[in-house]
Amino acid sequence: MTARTYLVDKLKGFELGAADYITKPLQLEEVLARVTTHLNVHKLQRQLVRQNQQLIEEINRRKQAEMEREKALEALQAEKASLAKRVEERTADLRVANTELTRALRLKDEFLASMSHELRTPLTAILGISEALQESVYGPLNDKQRKYMRTLENSGNHLLALINDLLDFSRIEAGKLSLEIDTVSVNDVCQVSLQITLDAAHKKQIRVSTTLDHAVETIQADERRLKQILVNLLSNAVKFTPKGGSIKLEVNGDAKNGLVYFSVQDTGIGIAEEDIKYLFDPFVQLDGGLNRAQEGTGLGLSLVHRLTELHKGRISVESQIGKGSRFTISLPWQESCL
């Protein structure tokens, strides 16, 4: 408040820090208006200060968050690079391991094939001599000698069958076994397969029966391999069926779906449900009451599985402990009359 009205005095007051001035004589309305204005200005200033402070704090928080994000991104990039390096190293290790495994498998297959061939050649000669001796080509034999020669021949044929299984499995695994598809008489291949296994079944007093669908006369298949499938299934049934049991070979045609079903059912010891998934693994022999009494490579069912797949067929198993098993293979019919 001043009574001076000169400009110099007003400027001097502002220089000394005055925010405003009122000249005398006072006018109440002006005083109230100026006071109200300055109060509002002060209030706005305080609000601006608070807002500025909040803005500064928000900026600082965002800067901190950005710094942390950048650090996290850098750490992520570093981890990504490290992971990529580890993946690359692991991939290289796996590539080397795969190469070594492939080589080992190839050498194994070659070894098995070579050994099977080397064993089969002299064994075939032994069997030939045994057969000639039984036919008295080199002179007559007495009953005791004939009995021993039959034992020798049976054992030799059993060993030859095992070697053939091993050789065939090696060829399948190496991708070197191809099928010779032709028109095959279903009745003939079933009868031949049964004849091969009848002696073993009769020794255990096992009843063998057949049921053939007369509509299924022929099938397009590899006759030798189809017979091998059936012989393995029938032999397996004989092997695990106790004395006095029964085995049934059944053939049915499904013209609608173009399939032929070959089933071998037995009254053997059966297979536990949890073991069925291992049945077709090579060299696997499941523990069972009759299993250890029978020798084998554990390749029979694995060969059946592989040969069925080569025919573009499928195999299924139904089994109950103590009641028996039923193996069914389904093969494409592909008969010319369809």
**Domain residue spans in the chain?**
97-173, 182-332
User: Could you name the CATH architecture of 182-332?
Assistant: 2-Layer Sandwich (3.30)
- Check pLDDT > 50 for residue 36: yes
Same fold, 97-173 and 182-332: no
Exposure string of 86-116, with b = 16+ CB inside 10 Å and e = fewer, is eeeeeeeeeeeeeeeeeeeeeeebeebbeeb
Q: Return d(Cα 167, Cα 322) in angstroms, integer.
A: 34
Of 28-42, 183-197, 257-271, 322-336, which range is least confident?
A: 28-42
Mean pLDDT of 53-66: 92
pLDDT band at 211 (very low <50, low <70, confident <90, very high): very high
Per-residue pLDDT tens for 124-180? 888 888 888 888 888 888 888 888 888 888 788 778 877 888 888 878 877 778 899
According to DSSP, the β-strands at 207-212 and 246-254 are parallel
97-173 placed in CATH 1.10.287.130: yes
Q: Return d(Cα 92, Cα 100) in angstroms, integer.
A: 12
